[in-house]
Structure formats: C-alpha cells, structure tokens
Structure 1
Amino acid sequence: MKSRLFVTLLIVAMLGLFSSCEEETPFSPNQPGSLEKGGQNAGTGNVTAMTWNVYVGADVDAILVAPIDQIPFVVGGAFADLYDTDFHLRAVAIVDQIAEHNPHLIALQEISLIRIQIPGDFMIGNPVAAEQIEFDYLDILMAELATRGLDYEVGAKVQNADVELPMLNPFTYSLDDVRLTDYDVVLVRGDVAFDNPTAVNYGTYLSVPIPFMPPIDILRGYAAVDATVGQMTYRFVSTHLESFDEGFRLAQADELLGELADETLPVILAGDFNSPAPDGQTYNFLTSEFEDAWVHNVLPNEGDGNTAPHAYDLLNPTANLTRRIDLVLVRTPNPHPGSQPIGPVQATVIGDELQDRTAGSLWPSDHAGVVATLHLRGTK
C-alpha cells in the first residue's frame, strides 16, 4: 500500500493544478484558515493522524477464562510469550512506519508496563505489589524514536487495567508474581503545540470474578490533548474500548460521547473500538455523531481497511485481516450550511504487508494500524 501512496498523492496534486481556475472548494489546500483567541478555528486544515494497538504480546484473554488451579501455569506461558514476541524488535518495525508517514498525532493502545516480583507474595495476600520492571513499552518506543532522530513526546496517557497474578516462572520454575499495567497514549510530533492533556477512566468496566482471588477489573479509558497543526486546533483522543462484551463497549462509547458533547473544537477520535465496521452496534452508535474517515478515503486499491487480527504469536506467514476495528473518526462543530464537514481523506493501513515485519518475521502487532491525512473544517 505504501508504494502507491506517492503516486496517488501526485495525482491528487495534479488534479488540484488543473482545477485551479475553478472556484475554490472549502477544502482547497491553499485556502487560508485562522486561529481565533480561545482556540476557535475558521477555514480548513490538514492533519495526519495515526492509530495503532501495539499489542501486549501474549494472549491475556486465555488467563481470564483459565481454571483457578491453572492460572499460574497459563500466566507463566503468557510471560514466556512476551519474550518470543519481543517488543524491542517490534518497536523498530512500528517506528519504521512512524518515520515513513511522519504523523502529527499518534494514538497508541496496549502500551504495557510489565513488572515482576521474585519470589511472589500473591498467594499470601499480595501485601507488596510487583515493582521490578521487565518491559516498559513506552520507554522502549520513545528510545527507538530518539535513536532515529524522530521528535515526538508524550502528550497524554491514561492508566487503565493494573493486574497482578501469580505465575510459575517459565525460566526459573519459581512461583513469582507478574503485574501488567495497561495505558492508552497520545504522542505529539515535536513541531505541534499542544495543551489540555486529559486522562479519564470510564465508569463502566468489566470485572472478571476469580474464585478465591480478587476480581480482575478491566479498566478502560481515554487520553486526549488539544493540538494545533498549522492554523487549526483539534481535540485528539486515543481510546481502547472493551473487547469482551458489547454492552460494556457500548456503555463506554456512550460515556466518551458524553465527555465530548460540549467540545467546540474539531475532534479526531482514534483507537481500537472493538466494533467492526460497518455493522457493529458500537460502531454505528459512534458514527451517528462522528464521520468514519475511511469511508472518505480517496486512495485507490486500499481494500476494506481491515486491521485485525494477526496470530497471537505474530508469526502467521501471510496477513489475513478480516475486521476493521481500528478507526479514525472525526467530528467538526457548526459546519457551514450545505458543506461537508470532512474533505477527501488519504488513508492507508500499516503493518499489513510482509515487508512491515521485523527481521525475525514478527508482525509489529496483532493489529494493523491506520494512518489518515484529514482535511477538516473548523467553526463558522
């Protein structure tokens, strides 16, 4: 898909030249915009956004359904998987895509912090939480960006689920504890001004009962910033909705739209929504207020935009992505009468081609990502 991007953009540019004698459309790239005091926008603006669920690296869902006496073994197997799906290698492949597409704003999900305790104390009530860092995905990713000379910073992050469980350590065969803390993150390119960072957990979340143990609470949430690209300011949001249950997923989406109800800036809502387009119930609820950027895609030969799933071990020899659940959604306030709130979109799926894999033939994630260049209208 990437090899077609330059040719397509060249065609779009040529069409713009040949039509330059006609009346400018609301989305002409040379039409000026202005940023009024208080963050109110006028005119149109172009912004490139990326979203990617980078994957913890193991089938944690298997833990949630494991029999109580099997949990230490299943958790130990998942811990071993983290080494096999090495995020150090995958971060290189993810940053390859960031370097190629140079997005202004990046929404990341399943940014994981893995900590261990040796020996563990979970079986005696877990009086001390695990604190020894085994993997810090955000640090690994930011270090790789810095190594490449790519200037991004963390604009906002929200801590979601924070779960500690016992494991039979697959390397030492000792009974240890492992702790997973999950984050959604917004990265902002260095030349983009931003403020108003926000981190919110949804009040509705799945709680999985475990016999003789505390329940596992699967907290979800969103991270957001106000980001100014050129002369327009946007509210940019990264989120990851519940994967197990449509009712919880829909309730979280309802909370999110409620949080954004009074927002006066154009909103870019990016993330893993776990509701497949075009028929998912939560997808249709969200798109009753937001435009799905992929629907406006003008790049040819981009297919259905499917983003999931790759295999849990990331070693599937070919991509067989069947669900479009990773989305870029947009909403613009007070559109001009008769005008479209969103102009042509140049969008592509990333992490879905064989050349996108690591040197060890790992896919960068169990999800593909999405990059979209958007042409959005501000306020009247």
Structure 2
Amino acid sequence: MGMKGRITFMTWNLYVGADLGPIYTAEFNELPQRVTEVFRQFLATNFPERVKEIARQIALNKPDIIGLQEAELWLLQVMPVPSLPIVKYNFIKLLLKELRKIGLHYEVAATNDNAAASLLSSEGNSVSLLDRNTILVRKQTGLHVIQSISEEFQENLEVTIGGQLFLIVRGWSYIDVKADGRVFRVINTHLEPLSEGGQIAQGNEILNGPAKTNLPVIVLGDLNSDADGTGTPTYGNFRSEGFEDVWEEAGQGAGFTCCQDADLLNGLSLLNRRIDFILFNNGWMPIRAELVGEDQSDRTPTALWPSDHAGMVGILFLP
C-alpha cells in the first residue's frame, strides 16, 4: 500500500478530442459534413501527442490507482477501399504503451463501455466512437484487486441525431482492493452534463449502489456538478451522504478542473469550475491534493493543453 497505508489516487477526464455538439444539432442531410468536421477537430487535438504529456504527469505523481473518463476508442474505416486497415485511436492502449516506455506498468482493472456510434462522413468513410471510463492499477504496488464490477446506469439521456433517437449510455465501475490486510473500494464514473434530472438519478444510483458500503470507499470522477453548488445538487448529495472531498481537505487554491476550449489552443487557462473529484468515506485521512495538466508548462510541444480538464491527484492514508 505504498508507504504503510498511504495510497495515491488520480482522476482525469482525458477529453474525447472534439466538440460533439454539432452532431447533436445536425439535420439528417447535414450529418456527413458535421461528422467530417468533428473528426478533423479530433485529429487536430492530436491524442497521440497529448498522451505523452498525460503519461508524463502520471509519471511525476505515480498514482497507485487512476480513474479515467473519456478514455475513448475512435475508429476510421475508409469504406471505398476495404483493403485499407481500420485506423484505431485506442486511448487506453496508447496511454499504457506510453507509460511502459517510461518504465511504469499499469493494468486495466475495470472498464465501462458507454455510448457507441458509427456515422458516415462526407468522404464516405465510417467514423466510430466508443466512450469509455477505466480504472488503472499500478503493478508491483502490493495492491490486489479482489473484485471488479462494471454497470450501465438505468437512467440515460436520449438525444436525436439526424432524426434518429440515440441513447447516451453512461455507467460506473468499482474495484475492491486488498492491501496490507485491509480491503477498500474505488468507484469511477462520469455523470451526464446535459440533463440535470438524469444526472441526479445517476448520482443516486451510485449512492444507493456501489457507494452503499461499510468499506473505506473512494469515488473518482467527473460528476459534472459544481462544488460551489451553483449547478446541479449532485455534488451536495454525495456530501450529505457522508462523502468528504479531498480537495477541500488537502488542496490549495480554487482547484478548478474544467474546461479549456474544444481545440485546446486557448492562450490562457479557462479552467473556472470544480467538477472533477476524489471523494472519500469510511475512515480515510486526506494528506495532499493537487492538480495536474493545468499549468502552461504542461502543454504539448504544439501548445495543446493535455486535456480540456485538469486531472487531480489525491494522497490519502488508511489507518
């Protein structure tokens, strides 16, 4: 358990890589052009370059357990030329590979496969996107994952894309981890930003489900609910169920985690909301919390922010 009971956690929304809004608002006949534009923005925000900076931030902090959101899988299939292999941008695989290069070995302990869509672009190519959350555990830390559960939320947002109804499926995962004879639970999730009622229901599904335990428990995730109470009541619901906030206990400053521009090229940081959290309950003692990926020096060589969110690292002690 690291240094006798001290465990380092990280949560980070890696950013899908493009603003998907134009697809939601497209008329049917506009859809292929919008798909092309969204995919071009994804290429421009260059995940293969961003992932190097994300890995570097992980290396600086060496978290034992990482909860990632928007750990996407993008596929490009050139339909008119079936002999060309499918191009894959697998955020999880690319990150694990980058970490291995710098001598860090993580394994996937749990993954949610969330919403998935395949649409044709104006060039006649097929562009597919699978949204995922994942929990990574560092190897050789003496942490043993004894149980891993992933579920979809019962409450999910319906949107219309090009005249067709489409479900934005989200979910949660948890792992139960044994270390130094103690067992604790880590939950990772990404709650719905576009529907307040849906988001509250999703938060309650976690509170009444995997978070309802006597085990020491950690919630990692992008709750899309402002810590200052100006947005949805979801964050407050976690607090009133006894969850404490590692940033509030052990962080310095405002702790803003969201959000940079969709193209990741805004000059000055635009982070002005605290919606990404490491929450804890049942016996943890917070030691330290800090942000990652929020400094000008964290940008890639082509000036991209590593994500539209800052990540957060929390060190906690389990007596």
Render the CA deviation track for 1:56-76: whole Å, top value 9, x for unaligned. Answer: 100012211223322211111
Matched, 1:242 2:192: yes
CA offset at residue 224 of structure 1?
Answer: 1.6
Aligned AA (1:365)? S
Matched, 1:89 2:54: no
Q: Please state how far the C-alpha of 1:295 moved relative to its aligned partner.
A: 1.2
Whether the 8 Å CA contact 2:155–2:202 is kept in 1: the answer is: yes
State which drifts further: 217-226 or 50-59.
217-226
Residues 116-155 of structure 1 aligned to structure 2 (within 5 Å): 116-119=76-79, 132-155=86-109
Shift of 1:175: 1.8
Tell me, yes or no, if the aligned pair for 2:187 and 2:210 is still in contact at 8 Å.
no
The one of 135, 148, 169 equivalent to 1:186 is 135
For normalisation by structure 2, the TM-score amounts to 0.92
Q: Which position in structure 1 is the counterpart of 2:37?
A: 77
Q: How far does residue 48 in structure 1 lie from its aligned partner after superposition?
A: 0.8
Q: Is the 1:104–1:229 contact (alpha carbons within 8 Å) kept by the matching residues of 2?
A: no
Matched, 1:164 2:118: yes
User: Within 5 A, what are the aligned runs for 1:257-272?
Assistant: 257-260=207-210, 262-272=212-222
SS of the residue 2:240 aligns to: coil
Is 1:367 the counterpart of 2:309 in the alignment?
Answer: yes
1:223-264 per-residue CA deviation (whole Å, 9 max, x = no partner) reads 221123444322111100001011110000111111125423
Are the aligned partners of 1:50 and 1:105 in contact in 2 as well (CA < 8 Å)?
yes
Q: Secondary structure at the match of 1:95?
A: helix
Q: Which runs of 4+ in 1 moved over 4 A?
A: none
Distance (whole Å) between structure 1 residues aligned to residue 23 and residue 225 of structure 2: 22
Partner amino acid, structure 2, of 1:296: E
Question: Following TM superposition, by how much is the alpha carbon of 1:307 offset from its aligned partner in structure 2, in angstroms?
Answer: 0.3
Q: Which residue of 2 aligns with 1:115?
A: 75
Structure 1 residue aligned with 2:125: 176
For residues 240-319 of structure 1, the aligned pairs below 5 Å read 240-260=190-210, 262-279=212-229, 280-289=232-241, 290-297=243-250, 302-319=252-269
Matched, 1:61 2:15: no
DSSP-derived class of the 1:276 partner? coil
Distance of 2:171 and 2:156 partners within structure 1: 9
Identical-pair percentage: 37
Give the partner amino acid of 1:372: G
Q: Report the CA distance shift for 1:305/1:230 in structure 2 as closer, same or farther (over 3 A).
A: farther
Determine which structure has more spread, i.e. the larger CA radius of gyration.
Answer: 1
- Report the AA paired with residue 177 of structure 1: S
Task: Name 2:153's counterpart in structure 1.
Answer: 202
Query: How far does residue 278 in structure 1 lie from its aligned partner after superposition?
Result: 2.3
- SS, match of residue 259 in structure 1: coil
Give 1:212 deviation, angstroms.
4.1
| Aligned residue number for residue 352 of structure 1 | 294
Could you tell me which residue of structure 2 aligns to residue 9 of structure 1?
none
| SS at 1:348 equivalent | strand
- Is the contact made by 1:278 and 1:284 (CA closer than 8 Å) also made in structure 2? no
Q: CA 1:195–1:244 in 2, change beyond 3 Å: closer, same or farther? A: same
User: C-alpha separation between the residues in 2 aligned to 1:117 and 1:362?
Assistant: 26
CA contact (8 A) 1:158 1:184 kept: yes
Q: Which amino acid aligns with 1:164?
A: S
User: What corresponds to 1:323 in structure 2?
Assistant: 273
Does 55-64 or 223-232 show the bigger shift?
223-232
Query: Partners in 2 of 1:94 and 1:262 — Cα distance?
Result: 32
The whole-number CA distance in structure 2 between the counterparts of 1:119 and 1:136 is: 20
Alpha-carbon deviation of 1:177? 1.9
Structure 1 83/211 Cα, relative in aligned 2: closer, same or farther at 3 Å?
closer
Q: Name the aligned partner's letter for residue 142 of structure 1.
A: L
Output the CA distance in 2 between the equivalents of 1:97 and 1:211: 39
Label 1:230 to 1:305 Cα distance change in 2 as closer, same or farther (>3 A): farther
Which residue type is aligned with residue 18 of structure 2?
A: A
Check conservation: 2:23, 2:161, Cα contact below 8 A. no
CA distance in 1, matches of 2:191, 2:311: 16
Alpha-carbon distance in 1 for matches of 2:268, 2:285: 34
> Which of 182, 200, 211 is the matching residue for 1:232?
182
**Matched letter for residue 278 of structure 1:** D
